[in-house]
């Protein structure tokens, strides 16, 4: 360790190699406290060249490396394992380029936060296409590496779709990629597509060239009550074909509405005993889209109650029923969090399987999510048997053609379930690809490794 | 050959293994006649399982395979080399699933044409997000494999962004992928992202699950005249931040306007001796966007002349000046076609380099393209020295941070120029990835192979 530490100090300077256990402890555990490992050293390189030096030194020394951005992940992918690892923090990679209005792009260091991406874009007259709750800590590099999602995916896609370019360093210290930001280039392997969602297993992202979208100053929000998940999907289908500028289509199931309403000390804004699924719909545009939203919802027979608001306190009261669900769950305890998705037509079957699993293994479900992607955050309070609940629910999602991780990534937590969603041939091919870029297994061992 | 042919007949049936040179000749040359090779056999499998059998047999026999869709490519990637190869035609993979309105997706066999994708989508109330001129022959599988672009990329991205799922077969006959169409899934290698743009070198795509977009019934089109490429980019920047539903931002340079106007026997609809760049802007929406388009253009000081039209004959007359440029070039001879892109801020420098190359090596340029992506189709009539022209122009594009192939792919044609846009480390990493999936080099040897 001393020899490696000396090498790393020579690369990044003494202030940026941390070995005091009191200091490194916060890098060695995730924010939920469920994943705790040992940080041999924490290294904070200040440039792509320094990242290259660090990776080359660690690979030569046979010491594994875990890249860490904002450390806001939920699946243990950004903290060391029990096996001691070097934590490569991107916290100093915070350079920000000017907003390029012609290209509608901006170049950011991997360590820039999601919130800063948005603020920087808005200062240049644009907006960031991806947003999610951990925006103040989560970094753009981490969001690309985990292919993060959020509520605007229906309009703009996940983080993978936002990457017009990136630079990254492979395990052997080779630098790859470009920040030129070419929206069209087809000359072989497209590094942004490969690295997005690779969770630090193929390379360490050091900077990204991200797309920007228009900054829509007007948002209209509706909450509608439908009789069932099938009705909610019918509403989604109508919106998809009839509405331009659809910005979000979110799902709240009755159990979650009850929990958040109690937490807020408020009555649900819409719905009654007939309601099987609530849908939150947002349109964003340069002009006020409220009339368009009302018109789109007016003739849909699946809706038995609706509230439509534009900006201001009324909208804030409405969206609180979606935005504060997580907080209302946390107020009741630490949930088992399963982040599944299925084809939207299979949502009903998924929830039937969830309820059967609860009946068999115990727990109270607080389900909500992103309707347009069939993505349900299955939060279970007081889980009876977490392992059997996970087995049954992840198994049901995959049996329905769905997935065990929609937007949280695989990390460590899902390694034992990867076989549910990938065939042996696929796992073998993925392992061969990983071995081709990292033959010594330096980068994030255990993460995305089928067991 | 006879032994392999017998094996293939056993897999796909005698009607679908072609060995008559008169019949296979059309599979062995591209439509421009510039790329001609030898088809050992042409095989037309009818299912993913048959594709798997064919690839396994060819890999075992040590015979290389070139996958072929509509064979509309421009870089020689879909026809055999001089070295005899088996042509794997996807022409029988034409199954079409129902339009899934809730997901806004559809499943199509790889051999379905781009035009049929659109027709099928529209029959279900949606539209296809990608369109380009060879739509009647080009297949969706080929378009994904080459990451095709076209004029709507500014709104929806290239083909890579449309793939919600795919099935493919690796060289060893392993099947990978899924057609569930999950917009969010992060559990390791994302096969659609990896296969898109791989030009048949990593696997053979057999079916795709493609996104659909709203079918906007109203289009407004403007042609504006600006003083320079820099002014055109300023117009682009304003449109990007101020306009919703921007569907196309196309570029016509004065040399191309002169050629197409002469071909049409018409006067350019806008512009005069001041005009350095024409821009064609389209908005598409559920409601008529003509007023929004006129408002967006009204205050832009870079525009010295503009024509705005809505649907009907007036619009058709206007768009003919963009759509019929290729035809007007072909009427004058076979051009040298270079498909370059640069960051939009570097377009002026690119065209200066193009004109310098013409002065040095001879030829007349007819340049046009897709402004929003900095993508210029550098068509050169009567090229003096095509090799030196290509060397200088591709070199200039890459020196400006651009690329040697924006939407035509690398194919065979660009292999000797790949070093201009990828470092030795990147080429080595790409080769390692390819070798990991195709260790025997069965799939499309020579294509995307740096020389």
CB–CB of A188 and B194 under 8 A?
no
Chain B residues with beta carbon closer than 8 angstroms to that of A74: none
| Cα of B23 to nearest chain A Cα, Å | 31
Q: Given pLDDT bands bounded at 50, 70 and 90, which one contains residue A32? A: confident
Residues 405-434 of B with CB under 8 A from A: 405-410, 414, 418, 421-423, 425-426, 428-430, 432-433
Continuous H helices in B126-253: 140-145, 153-156, 191-195, 229-242
**Is pLDDT at A238 greater than 90 in this prediction?**
yes
Whether residue B170 and residue A429 make contact (CB cut-off 8 A), yes or no, is yes
- Is B234's Cβ below 8 Å from some Cβ in A? yes
Check B184 against A149: CB less than 8 A apart: yes
Q: What is the pLDDT of residue B244?
A: 86
Give yes or no for residue B212 having a pLDDT over 90. Answer: yes
Res. A327: pLDDT tops 90: yes
Nearest C-alpha in B relative to A126: B241
Interface mutation target, options B129, B188, B349, B413, chain A, most CBs of A under 10 Å: B188
Set of chain B residues whose Cβ sits within 8 Å of the Cβ of A214? 240-244
B189 reaches A (C-beta below 8 A): yes
Query: What pLDDT score does A301 carry?
Result: 97
Chain mean pLDDT for chain B: 97
pLDDT at B2: 86
Which residue from A187, A372, A433 is facing B418, i.e. has the nearest CB? A187
| The pair of three-digit structure tokens given for residue B52, joined into one six-digit string | 């798997």
Per-residue pLDDT of B17-76, as tens digits, reads 999 999 999 999 999 899 999 999 999 999 999 999 999 999 999 999 999 999 999 999
Phi and psi angles of residue A187, each rounded to the nearest 5 degrees, phi first: -140, 40
Euclidean distance between CA atoms A253 and A417, whole angstroms: 26
Contact A186 B406 (CB under 8 A): yes
Q: What pLDDT shows up at residue B32?
A: 86
pLDDT tens by residue, B327-346: 999 999 999 999 999 999 99
Q: What is the mean pLDDT of residues B299-318?
A: 95
DSSP 3-state of B306? strand
User: Whose CA is closest to A159, among A176, A177, A179, A138?
Assistant: A138
In the prediction, which pLDDT does A311 show?
Answer: 85
- On the question of pLDDT at A1 being above 80, the answer is no
**What average pLDDT does this structure show over B391-413?**
97
What's the whole-number average pLDDT of chain A? 97
For an interface test with B, the pick among A151, A184, A190 (most B C-beta atoms closer than 10 Å) comes out as A184
User: Is the whole-model pTM more than 0.90?
Assistant: yes
Provide the ipTM: 0.96
Q: Kindly state the tokens that stand for A331.
A: 């107020």
Q: Report the pLDDT value the prediction gives residue B384, as an integer from 0 to 100.
A: 97
- Residue B11's nearest CA partner among B107, B86, B95 is B86
Q: Rounded to a whole number, what is the distance in Å from the CA of A312 to chain B's nearest CA?
A: 23
pLDDT of B1 strictly over 80: no
Q: Does residue A169 contact residue A442 with C-beta atoms inside 8 Å?
A: no
Nearest to A425 among B176, B370, B436 (CB): B176
Q: What is the pLDDT of residues B165-211, one digit of tens each?
A: 999 999 999 999 999 999 999 999 999 999 999 999 999 999 999 99
Residues of A in contact with B215 (CB under 8 A): 241
Instruction: Give the separation between CA A51 and CA A46, rounded to whole angstroms.
Output: 8
Task: Tell me whether strands B218-226 and B204-211 are parallel, antiparallel or unpaired.
Answer: unpaired
Adjacent-strand bridge partners of A68: A89
8 A C-beta contact, residue B345 and residue A102: yes
Q: Nearest Cβ partner of A103 from B182, B186, B343?
A: B343
Check CB contact under 8 Å for B285 and A244. Answer: yes
Burial code (b: 16+ CB inside 10 Å, e: under 16) for A370-392 equals bbbbbbbbbbbbebeeeeebbbb
Q: Which residues 61-90 on chain B approach chain A with CB closer than 8 angstroms?
A: none
Rounded Cα–Cα distance for residues A367 and A251 (Å) = 9
Task: Name the minimum distance, in Å, from the CA of A244 to any CA of chain B.
Answer: 7
Would you place residue A114 in the very low, low, confident or very high pLDDT band (cuts 50, 70, 90)?
A: very high
Q: How confident is the model at residue A293 (pLDDT cuts 50, 70, 90)?
A: very high
Give the contacts of B2 (CB within 8 A, at least 6 positions apart). none
pLDDT digits 0-9 by tens, A240-267: 999 989 999 999 999 999 999 999 999 9
Rounded CA separation A424/B1 (Å) = 32
Judged by a CB distance cut-off of 8 A, whether residue B451 touches chain A is no
Compute the nearest-CA separation of A265 from chain B (Å). 33
- A–B CB contacts, 8 A cutoff, strictly below: 288
Contacts of B126 in chain A (CB under 8 A): 240-241
Handedness of CA A134, A135, A138, A143 (dihedral sign): positive
pLDDT band at A2 (very low <50, low <70, confident <90, very high): confident
Is B240 in contact with A102 (Cβ distance < 8 A)? yes
Nearest CA in chain B to A214: B241
Q: What's the average model confidence in pLDDT over B272-299?
A: 96
Helical (H) or strand (E) element with B208: strand B204-211
Contact residues, chain B, for A236 at CB < 8 Å? 102
Q: Which residues contact B245 (CB under 8 A, 6 or more apart)?
A: A244, A245, B155, B216, B283, B284, B285, B289, B292
Contact call for A188 and B422, based on CB within 8 A = yes
Q: Which residues contact A117 (CB under 8 A, 6 or more apart)?
A: A106, A108, A128, A140, A210
Q: How confident is the model over A37-73, as pLDDT tens digits?
A: 999 999 999 999 999 999 999 999 999 999 999 999 9
Q: Hey, is the C-beta of B218 within 8 angstroms of any chain A C-beta?
A: no
Q: Which of A157, A214, A401 sits opposite B244 (nearest CB)?
A: A214
pLDDT at B281 over 80: yes
């Amino acid at each position: 360790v001393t020899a490696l530490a000396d090498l790393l100090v020579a690369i990044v300077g003494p202030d940026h190699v941390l070995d005091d256990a009191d200091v490194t402890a916060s890098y060695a555990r995730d924010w939920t406290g469920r994943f705790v490992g040992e940080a041999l050293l924490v290294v904070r390189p200040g440039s792509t060249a320094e990242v290259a030096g660090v990776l080359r030194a660690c690979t030569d020394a046979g010491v594994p490396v875990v890249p860490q951005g904002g450390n806001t992940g939920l699946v243990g992918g950004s903290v060391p394992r029990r096996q001691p690892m070097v934590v490569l923090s991107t916290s100093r990679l915070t350079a920000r380029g000017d907003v390029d209005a012609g290209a509608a792009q901006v170049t950011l260091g991997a360590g820039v936060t999601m919130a800063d991406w948005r603020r920087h874009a808005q200062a240049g007259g644009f907006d960031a296409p991806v947003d999610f709750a951990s925006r103040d800590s989560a970094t753009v590099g981490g969001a690309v590496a985990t292919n993060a999602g959020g509520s605007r995916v229906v309009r703009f896609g996940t983080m993978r779709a936002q990457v017009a370019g990136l630079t990254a360093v492979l395990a052997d210290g080779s630098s790859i990629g470009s920040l030129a930001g070419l929206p069209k280039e087809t000359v072989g392997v497209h590094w942004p597509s490969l690295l997005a969602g690779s969770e630090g297993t193929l390379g360490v992202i050091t900077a990204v060239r991200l797309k920007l979208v228009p900054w829509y100053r007007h948002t209209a929000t509706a909450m509608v009550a439908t009789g069932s998940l099938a009705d909610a999907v019918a509403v989604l289908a109508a919106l998809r074909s009839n509405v331009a500028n659809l910005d979000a289509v979110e799902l709240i199931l009755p159990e979650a509405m009850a929990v958040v309403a109690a937490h807020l000390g408020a009555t649900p804004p819409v719905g009654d005993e007939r309601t099987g699924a609530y849908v939150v719909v947002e349109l964003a545009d340069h002009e006020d889209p409220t009339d368009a939203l009302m018109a789109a919802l007016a003739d849909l027979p699946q809706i038995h109650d609706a509230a439509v608001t534009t900006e201001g306190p009324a909208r804030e009261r409405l969206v609180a029923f979606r935005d504060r669900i997580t907080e209302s769950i946390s107020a009741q305890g630490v949930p088992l969090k399963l982040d599944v998705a299925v084809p939207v037509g299979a949502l009903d079957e998924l929830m039937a399987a969830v309820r059967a699993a609860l009946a068999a293994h115990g727990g109270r479900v607080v389900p909500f999510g992103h309707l347009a992607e069939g993505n349900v955050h299955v939060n279970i309070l007081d889980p009876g048997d977490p392992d059997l609940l996970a087995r049954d629910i992840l198994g049901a999602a995959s049996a329905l053609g769905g997935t065990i991780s929609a937007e949280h990534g695989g990390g460590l937590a899902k390694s034992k379930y990867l076989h549910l969603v990938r065939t042996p041939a696929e796992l073998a091919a993925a392992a061969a690809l990983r071995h081709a870029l990292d033959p010594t297994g330096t980068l994030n061992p255990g993460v995305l490794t089928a067991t």
